[in-house]
Each structure stands twice: as structure tokens, then as C-alpha cells.
Amino acid sequence: MSNKRIFITGGASGLGEALAEVYAKEKWSVCIGDIHEERGQKVVRKLKGMGARAHFIACDVTQEADVQQAADWMVAKWGGVDAVVNNAGVATAGAFEDAPMEDWDWIININLLGVVRGCRIFAKIFQTQGHGQIINIASAAGLVHLPGMASY
């Protein structure tokens, strides 16, 4: 088993789950953070079934305390972290003029500020350790403007 450790936000489904599986196959220890505990635990069971060391932690990237709790867990239980994937993301659809400000706030708080929180908190650990990688996931929708998805 590798001694590499990774933390993935939004790891309970979609791309985050797929990334967790890839790292598990490479024998990394995989900790996933997500707001969906039931789905997260299901992914952890699948990863453990693959022979990986895996853990789920409830983590809402809009809450700095949740991200800090995940970082603290990684240090306390696994002795640190080698890579962090800021993957959690959401989207809305609809006409620009109809999108309520709450949608904009929600998306920015998760898709942008969630990444900022992850970078700030885990960078401190990487500085202390002397190593680490941050992988920030972004959508091609940031470059290709899809009709009805202005807030995304």
C-alpha cells in the first residue's frame, strides 16, 4: 500500500467519486469530504472493497470550520496529506434576468470561495510538511458560455 494520502471535496458522487476510485486503485489513502453522508459512506465502502484505506468526513466547503476540521483530521489520523482536490461544485440553469441573487451567492460560495478555503487551509499544512499538491477542478463552462447558464 502506498503511503500517499489525498483529500477530495465533493467526493460522494460524479467526478469526485471517479477520482477517489482512481487514487484508490493506485493504493493511495483516500479521504472524501461531502455534504451527502449516505452517498459518501457508500463510496467509502466501495473504496474499501477495492482494498484502499478510505474515510468519509462531512464537509461543507461553504463553512471554513468544516474544511479546517477535515484538514485537522488528515493530520491527526493519517499524519498529513499529500494532495487535495478542490472538486465540490454546483450549477444552476435559467435565463440571466430570472436568476435570483441567491443562486449567484450559492454558486460563488461553493465553486469559487470553497476552492479558496481549501487552498488557504491545506496550504498551511503543505508548508509545515514541506510538500503537497493542490488540484483545483474547474468546468469548461468557464470558457464556453452555455445558453441559460450565466450564473454557472
Active site members: 152
CA 112 to chain CA centroid, Å, is 12
- What SS3 class is residue 111? helix
Give helix then strand counts, H and E, for the chain.
5, 5
Name the DSSP class of 9.
Answer: E
Cβ(122)–Cβ(7) under 8 Å? yes
Closest residue by Cα to residue 30 from 53, 57, 61: 53
CA atoms within 13 A on the CB side of 144: 5
